[in-house]
Structure 1
Amino acid sequence: MYQMIACYGAMRHIGVFRSETSDLHRGEKCILRTDRGVELGEIVCRSEPSANAPEDQPIGQVLRRATPRDVARAEEIEESFASQEYKFCEAKIREHNLPMKLVSVEHLFGGDKIIFYFLADGRVDFRALVKDLAAQYRTRIEMRQIGVRDEARLLADVEHCGRMLCCKSFMKDLAPVTMRMAKAQKTTLDPAKISGRCGRLMCCLRFEDQSYAELREQLPRKGTRVKTPNGVGIVTGTEILKQMVSVDTGADRDGVFHVSQIEVLGGAAEATGGPAPDDEASEPDIPPRPNARR
């Protein structure tokens, strides 16, 4: 028995699946059995079992390769069935006057379940709506409340950089992104430039945060007394990526030196380690709005 990593579903879930064949290749369509039912998925790569990583244990099984007929069937479900279900649900939401916005509909390949994704400011009593949907489609109905980041994952395609959205192409979990990360990377704080398609801070700010933190640890803080090739001075600024330090040595202009060229003597601030005092204050975390399964 082999293990394959595959992505599936409208939210591009990623999981490990058991497979009886090993000759499945990246990008190949296949029929999966997941905890939600039978679905059409796409192979990402082969997985090597690890006893130390319980989260990588198989969550389902690769039933078989997808045939051209399967792919055509999935396209028909997406273009016809899901579209009709969206319109019907939207009409029922208006009929029941519910404070919610329907975002997308996912009709599983095997017909085991229909999932309706929606936005709402708080809890919504949609029991009457679910009864109408179940009576109409005679299958399991799931109403899933999502946040704006999940909405972008469902509907958007390309980010400012010209690539597919990270959350749609490879991210498994949407971890919080903070304004502190943007400040630490000395990026612009213009919301229009550091916000993604979802209107929240871009996830890529988090990707490099650890590297910036490690590089910052090597630099002295502002106000630290250091010895340079031009004499003793006070640190006035740093460039994290270049590992350069600006030092006021009493000359007409500040000297700029690589961190390897200076020796910390101590001073008004701690020599190294962690952000400077003016970096401590940051805006609170901006976590994604949690999914609510009802």
Structure 2
Amino acid sequence: MGCGSCSTGSGGCAPAGCKSNGSCATGGCGKMEVYDWLSNLDMPSNYIPFQVIEVKFKGARKEFFLNADNIYLEIGELIAVEGPTGGYDIGHVSLTGELVRMQMKRRKTHMDQVTRKVYRKASETDVEKWKIAKDLEWETMHKARKLALDLRLSMKISDVDYQGDRTKATFFYTAEGRVDFRELIKKMAETFRIRIEMRQIGMRQEAGRLGGIGSCGRELCCSTWLTNFKTVSTAAARYQNLSLNTLKLAGQCGKLKCCLNYELDTYLDALKDIPDRIESLHTEIGTARHQKTDIFKKIMWFSYPNAEDWIPLKVSRVKEIMAMNKSGQKPVNLKEEAVEMTPAAFVEKSPDYENVVGQDSLTRLDDKSRNKGGRNSKSAASGSRNEGRSNSRPDRPSRPEGQNRPQGGRPQQPKQGGQPPVQQPGQPKVQQGAPQGAAQQGTGQPTGQPSVSKNKNRNNRRKKPKEKPKDD
């Protein structure tokens, strides 16, 4: 059964069919064919692997190739395959095994149509050459556009795809009609020195090759998974009650969006029970005109002339009134048969987290701006209170004795037992030795109280306001 030298126990390391020559070292057969080993484990003994694989190239292009040599390939690997006109090309493996058989049935491709083969897994040399070819595509496209403009051709070259061996380039272009580009091919062959292939594509294919983000916020469907493009008409928008606005209904390709067809069948099924081409209903008090229809709720709204309110009716009742009008009968008033429209109940959802700092409040910034003025006033008041403490700082020099304050400030009072202050110009004279209780000339302040010394603590003055002197 086994190799005979496996280190993980007796009995061997592989099932029947092991082709090792006795070189097992760590519990696995080093020279066993892995492809056959996996097929023996997962598939029946008579199973033959499907020899066709799917390979993806640039621009969401996918093709089938024949894996005649049964090379073990995994999804995402770079492989070298046969080119359409000779040479080889490099692509990524997108599907293998039985999924390829299902994909071929979906695309209606038979085994006889798959003729090109898989050469090998891409080597380092193949990958380097392929990357160099891909780096040339941008420059080649702009040079080709300049050549087309010089020849005044009404065409737009949207993309260039180099083959993996850099021997051929395919130019994809869009045009409204037929274009004679024979002269263009001659000039491009002289400029690029490669084989040229011109391929005309539509606007949708161009958007799929270039890619982008749609109005829904996701990547374009045509560049990800959409392979076949169905015709989209304005009737799809009418059935879904959409406004015929080309700016909203058109995609990046300039055509109608492909997603208009996604829900079209659902709308068509809902419209089967709703009467078509109804404009008005005749009643005894007047004619009510049709305003709008809720397709899925099956409710139709009507309104009387010069009336602001709309009357909702069920589709079944509308059909009965239409039958009555055909027979010459009229209902009294549609308002008596209106459907009660209950507003949707708003359920407040409690958050699944604990709001600690109030980050979910929409007015938290307004509260800060409202309290900003109060904080500024408090800071201004605290600054005025701390103004008196500035002289007690050791880094600020104190004012020498006898130096007066600037004009406009509070006049300096003399210290007890010290020199009188220097007389400032424009101030009234103060008589020295005036009797106690006499007022200074030119001022209304009495001098009976003793002057306050500067050496006293100013904090006491801040805490306890100065009492006014009493008149003698």
By the TM > 0.5 criterion, same fold?
A: yes
Deviation at 1:197, TM superposition (A): 0.9
> Once the 2 structures are TM-superposed, how far is the Cα of residue 180 of structure 1 from its aligned partner?
1.1
Residue deviations 1:57-112 (CA, integer Å, cap 9, x gap): 35645725556765554433222x21332243234334434333322211122335
What is the aligned partner in structure 1 of residue 61 from structure 2? Answer: 13
In 2, the alpha carbon distance for the partners of 1:148 and 1:253 equals 44
For 2:255, the equivalent position in structure 1 comes to 200
Q: What residue in structure 2 maps to residue 85 of structure 1?
A: 140
Give the aligned partner of residue 270 of structure 2.
215
Is the contact between residue 86 and residue 105 of structure 1 (CA under 8 Å) also seen in structure 2?
Answer: yes
Q: What is residue 132 of structure 2 aligned with on the other side?
A: 76
The CA deviation string for residues 215-264 of structure 1, in whole angstroms up to 9 with x for no partner, is 32243436499xxxxxxx99875323x342226699x863455x7x7795
Range with greater deviation from structure 2 (134-143 or 161-170): 134-143
Structure 1 pair 100/54, CA: closer, same or farther in 2 (3 Å)?
closer
Map of 1:162 onto structure 2: 217
Is the aligned partner of 1:43 residue 2:94?
Answer: yes
SS in 1 for 2:173: strand
Shift in Å at residue 187 of structure 1?
A: 2.3
For structure 1, which segment, 105-114 or 34-43, has the greater mean C-alpha deviation from structure 2 after superposition?
34-43
Conservation of the 8 A alpha-carbon contact between 1:16 and 1:57: no
User: What RMSD over aligned residues (CA atoms) do the two structures have, in Å?
Assistant: 4.0
- Structure 2 unaligned segments of length 5 or more: list them: 1-49, 281-287, 327-472
In terms of mean alpha carbon deviation, does 48-57 or 177-186 score higher? 48-57
- Going from structure 1 to structure 2, the CA distance change for 1:75 and 1:184 (only over 3 Å counts) comes to farther
Larger Rg: 2
1:244 aligns to 2:306 (yes or no)? no
On the 8 A contact 2:301/2:310 being kept in 1, the answer is no
Q: Distance in 2 between matches of 1:238 and 1:211?
A: 16
Q: What residue identity is the alignment partner of 1:254? A: I
Counterpart for residue 188 of structure 1: 243
Report deviation, 1:121: 3.7
- Tell me the equivalent position of 2:420: none
Q: 2:100 corresponds to which letter in structure 1?
A: S
Please name the residue that 1:127 is paired with.
182
Q: In the TM superposition, what is the alpha-carbon distance from 1:196 to its structure 2 partner?
A: 0.8
Superposed CA offset, 1:111-134 (max 9, x none):
353111223343322212212223
- CA shift digits 1:265-285 (9 cap, x unpaired): 57489xxxxxxxxxxxxxxxx
Which protein has greater RCO, CA pairs closer than 8 Å, 6+ apart? 1
**Contact 1:82/1:106 (8 A) holds in 2:** yes
1: CA distance between counterparts of 2:271 and 2:220?
A: 28
Q: Give the Å deviation of 1:181.
A: 0.9
Q: What are structure 1's unaligned runs of at least 5 residues?
A: 226-232, 270-294
Contact 2:130 2:166 in 1 (8 A): no
Contact 2:214 2:252 in 1 (8 A): yes
Shift of 1:145: 2.8
1:57 matched to 2:110? The reply is yes
Report SS of the residue matched to 1:55: coil
Query: For residues 18 and 94 of structure 1, what CA distance do their matches in structure 2 show?
Result: 42
Q: Normalising to structure 2: TM-score of the pair?
A: 0.45
Would the aligned equivalents of 2:79 and 2:93 in 1 still touch at CA under 8 Å? Answer: yes
SS at match of 2:197: strand
8 Å Cα contact 1:196-1:202 kept in structure 2: yes
State the SS of the aligned residue for 2:244: coil
| TM-score normalised by L of structure 1 | 0.68
Distance 1:210 1:104 in 2: 35
The letter of the residue matching 1:245 is I
Q: Which amino acid aligns with 1:8?
A: F
Match of 1:103 in 2: 158
**In the alignment, which residue of structure 2 is the partner of 1:287?**
none
The answer to whether the 8 A contact 2:74-2:93 is kept is no
CA offsets, 1:143-201, max 9 Å, x none? 22333333322324211212111111112222221111112112232222221111211
Change (3 A) 1:255 1:198: same
Quote the Cα distance in structure 1 between the aligned partners of 2:209 and 2:243.
28
With 83-92 and 183-192 compared, the bigger mean Cα shift is at 83-92
Per-residue deviation, residues 1-53 of structure 1 (Å, max 9, x unmatched):
2444443233x22344444467633x554444464663424515722358976
Q: Are the aligned partners of 2:291 and 2:303 in contact in 1 as well (CA < 8 Å)?
A: no
**Aligned residue in 1 for 2:197:** 142
Q: Does the C-alpha gap of structure 1 residues 255 and 122 become closer, same or farther in structure 2, counting only changes over 3 Å?
A: closer
Distance 1:50 1:147 in 2: 24
Contact persistence 2:55–2:91 (CA under 8 A): no
Whose strand proportion is higher, 1 or 2? 1
Q: Secondary structure at 1:217's aligned position in 2?
A: helix
* Distance (Å, rounded) in 2 between the aligned partners of 1:207 and 1:62: 37
